[in-house]
Structure 1
Amino acid sequence: MRKVKLGETLSVKHGWSFKGEYFAESGEQSLLTPGNFYEKGGFKPNNGKERYYTDKYPEEYLCHKGDLVVAMTQQAEGLLGSTALVPEDNKYLHNQRIGLITCDETQLNKLFAYYLFMTKSVREQLERSASGTKVKHTSPERIYDVEVEIPDLFSQEKIAKLLMTIDGKISANLSINDNLAA
């Protein structure tokens, strides 16, 4: 294990400020919002509450499947620093209160980073450094200052795969339970 600041292993890019007059109830691309994150981490669909964008925008703000994003505004308790993996190609737009995380893959595995942001240590550091009293905010610079201990890349990959497998089994069991209840 080695101790690093996240800024040594990843970068965070702010989303674009999409203009409200071009929001719509239907369209091709939906804006990512803090509502797309579970407080403990993971992608949450905004079923029925999506906001679509109908004007032109810089192509670099169109998300791709597997992009790692982070909630940089806490609109619900525990949301600040929550991460999610974008589930579909070319459907979601990288909005301003969301950070796009790019890992230096020679130091930090993206899936390991996804789970790393779910840890109590990372969340507490982000909470302590946040600005705002009622609605808390973080920034790329504050994320970069978070200190973590990370294993070697091989171990990171093994840990991330194990956790993804467990998450998959939990999801399958919840689906089975929902079907049985119906």
Structure 2
Amino acid sequence: MKTREVKLGEVANVKGGKRIPKGIGLINIPNGHPYIRVRDLNNKRLLELDNSYEYVDNETQKVISKYTVKTGDVVLSIVGTIGLVAIVGRTLDGANLTENCVKLSSFHGVNRDFLYYYLRSDCGQQEIRCGTVGAVQAKLPIKNIQNIAINLPDYTTQERIASLLLSIDRKIELNQKINDNLAA
């Protein structure tokens, strides 16, 4: 299979999230302004709103409203627990994004699902580790994310690879639900 090496910044826009203002806390009362944190990415392929999410109040939303995600964006954690990856689902369209993550969007020449699986792969995680800096608090700077190298096959091959991996993930999810039901 023939591939070409590209930098992530060549095939997707990389944009950081936003810290909530100092002295402001998140709230537990659902209000239409969910706030995606690093812990929300744990072992999830698709991020969907559930009762574990916290929210920002209406005033804070006005201040951080430029740092939201859209359905289909890929989210990558960049501070603390670095390298968690998930895709934004429809119930989190317009959600706010923590400063400890970036969103990848506006994909050109790369299949979104292929990119997701690449970043989760050993190869992608190695690239992420190579770009990580900091001894006390590890961090993955945006310029280093943009320079992540990806060996990209042609688009049709990307679609086939992503489709195969997605079917495996769906089968695993189904088996997990069956096991959970049996355990209950």
Residue equivalent to 1:135? 137
Residue equivalent to 2:70? 64
Question: In 2, are the aligned partners of 1:63 and 1:86 still within 8 Å (CA)?
Answer: yes
Deviation of the 1:181 alpha carbon:
0.7
Deviation of the 1:44 alpha carbon:
6.4
1:115 to 117, 123, 137: 117
Please give the alpha-carbon distance, in whole angstroms, between the structure 2 residues aligned to 1:67 and 1:46. 15
Superimposed CA distance per residue, residues 55-110 of structure 1 (whole angstroms, 9 cap, x where no aligned partner): 233544333322211111133xxxx12210112244631221110102432x1111
Aligned residue pairs, count: 176
2:36 to 22, 29, 32: 32
Question: In 1, are the aligned partners of 2:74 and 2:116 still within 8 Å (CA)?
Answer: yes
Question: In 2, are the aligned partners of 1:73 and 1:136 still within 8 Å (CA)?
Answer: yes
Please give the root-mean-square deviation of Cα atoms over the aligned residues, in Å.
2.3
Superimposed CA distance per residue, residues 123-159 of structure 1 (whole angstroms, 9 cap, x where no aligned partner): 1222132122243110221012222211001111111
Residue equivalent to 2:98? 95
Question: In 2, are the aligned partners of 1:71 and 1:81 still within 8 Å (CA)?
Answer: yes
Q: Which runs of 5+ in 2 are unaligned?
A: none
Q: What TM-score, normalized by structure 1, do the two folds share? A: 0.84
Aligned pair in 2 of structure 1 residues 48, 27: CA closer, same or farther (>3 Å)?
closer
Q: What TM-score, normalized by structure 2, do the two folds share? A: 0.84
Residue equivalent to 2:7? 5
Please give the alpha-carbon distance, in whole angstroms, between the structure 1 residues aligned to 2:54 and 2:6. 38
Residue equivalent to 1:175? 177
Deviation of the 1:31 alpha carbon:
1.1
Question: In 1, are the aligned partners of 2:49 and 2:92 still within 8 Å (CA)?
Answer: no
Question: In 2, are the aligned partners of 1:74 and 1:135 still within 8 Å (CA)?
Answer: yes
Q: Which runs of 5+ in 1 are unaligned?
A: none
Question: In 1, are the aligned partners of 2:17 and 2:101 still within 8 Å (CA)?
Answer: yes
Please give the alpha-carbon distance, in whole angstroms, between the structure 2 residues aligned to 1:118 and 1:59. 29
